[in-house]
Amino acid sequence: MKNKRTKRIKVGFDVFDLERRKKYIKKPVRPVTVKPREGVSELLKRMGDTAFQGKNLSLAVDVWEEMLKRRCTVFFGLAGAMVPAGMRNILVHLIKNRYMDCLVSTGANLFHDVHETLGRFHWQGSHTVDDKELKDSGIDRMYDVYAIEEEFNSSDEYIYKFSMGLERRPYTTREFFYLLGQDLKKRAKTEGIITAAHDAGVHVYCPAIGDSSIGIAVALADGRDYPLFDVIGDVKETAHLAARATASGVVFLGGGTPKNFIQQAEVTANMMGKKAQGHKYAVQVTADSPHWGGLSGCTFEEAQSWGKIAKKSRRVSVACDTTIALPVIVTALTERMKGFKRKRPSMDLKNSYRVKKRIWEW
């Protein structure tokens, strides 16, 4: 029975508030139909009318597109073995087209990029294999991907010799990878992440560089005769970029150190007296869950409590294997960006090392 005055309806023992219902019942789920001649972008738009991770995949493209069409500095976090898994050319495409402005990566992905840029391969394999036999065969395994040990050693040798040729002074990881890209271009068999970033003016940071084969290669120096990494300089520079941005957005593949390093840029900027509002746009693709307490599965809502993500922000997390989601998202994004000339943000680092006041001195 319906009460017109109070806008309530009685159903059995329950009384439902119809006004409150309007808050939730707004848009119907629309089933996806197959249209063979349709592009990926159009398919994802229609998936936005569905549910679960299909809808989130669609929202991820929407949010990233808005980042690029607004005055926004895009920070990109790269974790997981994405280069060995075959995602390298997609990342190169994103860099060349400036769908990102600043890349923060694990050292492993950047090492694997050097490996492939020098003309070497990763190989399809199997996760159901005798790993002791692989060890005896000189094969390293990353789930179902293989690499040949002595070829890795050759990539180590290249990085070692490059590093030993540098002037003995502290380098931010941005400086290191810019110089590495410059040198790598002379030897490259194919274009890679580091060489593309060098040419496109995309800053590359690697805050945990010691936790990788790049760190291992530099550590092969005898004694203490090796270039040093100024990772505190990395912190200062990324905080400066976040603070001076008209708006900032983040795209995370996985989590780990790259995700936290990008998110803490907002916190650091505020502690330096450089006002930052939190990242205004946020996209995350992850297979991790928040209830374990780790950062890789941490929600953007949790990040809001720290001021890392803006109170008013467009954000979406896609619970999916990145090797599935990334090719689909980037293909759709590229279709939508066709013909659009993006106004690139300034990446100037002048005065990035200045700190006039610390938060406890206000």
Of 354, 72, 103, 71, whose CA–CA distance to 240 is shortest? 354
SS (H, E, C) 60-85: HHHHHHHHHHCCCEEEEEECCCCCCC
Q: What is the pLDDT of residue 2?
A: 54
Token pair, residue 66, equals 């808005």
Could you list the active site residues?
A: 308
Q: What is the DSSP string of 180-203?
A: HHHHHHHH-SS--HHHHHHHHT-E
- Structural domain count of the chain: 1
Residue 196 domain flag? yes
pLDDT band at 356 (very low <50, low <70, confident <90, very high): confident
Burial class (CB in 10 A: 0-12, 13-18, 19+), 219: exposed
Q: What is the pLDDT of residue 262?
A: 98
pLDDT tens string 6-25:
689 999 999 999 999 999 99
Residue 91 domain flag? yes
Residue 249 domain flag? yes
pLDDT(200) > 90: yes
Q: What is the CATH number of the domain that holds 115?
A: 3.40.910.10
Residue 115 domain flag? yes
Q: What is the pLDDT of residue 349?
A: 97
pLDDT band at 288 (very low <50, low <70, confident <90, very high): very high
Residue 164 domain flag? yes
Residue-range definition of the domain harbouring residue 273 = 51-122+151-339
pLDDT band at 5 (very low <50, low <70, confident <90, very high): low
pLDDT band at 30 (very low <50, low <70, confident <90, very high): very high
- 148 and 167 in contact (C-beta within 8 Å)? no
pLDDT tens string 299-333:
999 999 999 999 999 999 999 999 999 999 999 99
Residue 77 domain flag? yes
d(CA 276, CA 269): 6
Residue 137 domain flag? no
d(CA 210, CA 234): 14
Q: What is the rounded average pLDDT for all residues in the chain?
A: 96
Residue 6 domain flag? no
